[in-house]
Amino acid sequence: MHKLRLTLIMKKQNLVERIGKYYYEQHALERMQSRNLFPCIIEHVIETGDHYKLKLDVKEEEAKCATDAYIKFNMANILPGGMIGNRIITINPYQVKRFQHVIVFTGWKGVVKTAYVAKNQRVKAFIKNYCILK
CB 13 within 8 A of CB 101: no
Residue type, 46: I
Taking Cα atoms as reference points, which of 24, 42, 56 lies closest to residue 117? 42
Say what the pTM is. 0.75
Instruction: Give per-residue pLDDT as tens, 49-104.
Output: 999 999 887 777 777 789 999 999 888 765 544 444 445 556 666 655 556 889 99
Q: How far, CA to CA in Å, does 104 sit from each of 13, 39, 66, 80?
A: 23, 11, 10, 22
pLDDT tens column, 6-60: 554 554 454 789 999 999 999 899 988 888 888 988 999 999 999 999 988 777 7
Helix or strand (DSSP H, E) at 91:
strand 88-91
